[in-house]
Amino acid sequence: METLTAGRWPVVELLLDEDLPREIIDEAGRLASAVRLRLQELPGSRLTELCRTEEHQGFLARMGEFPCGTFEDLQQLLRQTAEERSAGGRNLPPLFVVCDRLQDAHNFGAILRCCDASQVDGVIIGERAQVSVTPHVARASSGAVNHLSIYRVPELLETLRELKTHGVNVLAASEKSDSLLWNCDMRGAQAMIVGSESAGIAPELLAEANAPVAIPMLGGVASLNAAVAAGIVLYECRRQQMSDRS
């Protein structure tokens, strides 16, 4: 329902359990009609058969390609945010997340949920070796994909350099860094690199970072899941930026 309400991600086909409350079916029908989509009502058992799980909550949709922005769209956003900062028209400095070859859909979705919660201006993903925005990702994000600007770019290295030319500081969370997150100044415009689950951040991207930082680990394990690490860094960044405005 949230995807229909947002109206960003094209729905190709929509099937509903005929036993859903009538008000829910009517609301879904209204939203579907607004985008000229025909809604079909079927027995819940048929939906279970089609999606091979009972966890469909009465909705089954076949989605089109998610509308990611381009490198040129990102450049336009960077120019716009730079102008807003110069004019004093922003409450918080810009904040971006760069995903380097994430493969796990659940992990990517969890990161997107953190990005929405911390009001990230843009999420940047590469065209190669990166899970795309899929229904699984959308579900793991709790619908956050409908509220985020996601940019798919040919080269992450070139994109990092473009961010830096617009005054964006590039952060990279790395357990190998000697600089602790708590001691890092993140009050200005920031972009955080999130590395792949298996290989971490690519060496050439890590070398481009202005500030490799380590999350303090107080227990017995040496590192954190990528989504958990992303959430910690993003909220520390926003905490500093909001404190700087008070």
Domain count, the chain: 2
pLDDT per position as a tens digit, 83-126? 887 777 678 899 999 999 999 999 999 999 999 999 999 999 99
> 189 and 103 in one domain?
yes
Query: Does 246 have pLDDT greater than 80?
Result: no
> 94 and 55 in one domain?
no
Q: Which domain holds residue 79?
A: 71-245
- Output 141 or 83, whichever has higher pLDDT: 141
> 198 and 92 in one domain?
yes
Task: Count CB neighbours of 27 within 10 A.
Answer: 14
**CA-based torsion, 172, 120, 123, 28: positive or negative:** positive
> 79 and 23 in one domain?
no
The last residue of one of the domains, among 34, 63, 92, is: 63
Q: What is the pTM of this model?
A: 0.84
> 56 and 76 in one domain?
no
pLDDT per position as a tens digit, 61-82? 888 888 899 999 999 999 998 8
pLDDT per position as a tens digit, 175-192? 778 888 989 999 999 999
The residues that bridge with 15 in the sheet, in sequence order, are: 40, 60
> 23 and 137 in one domain?
no
> 115 and 40 in one domain?
no
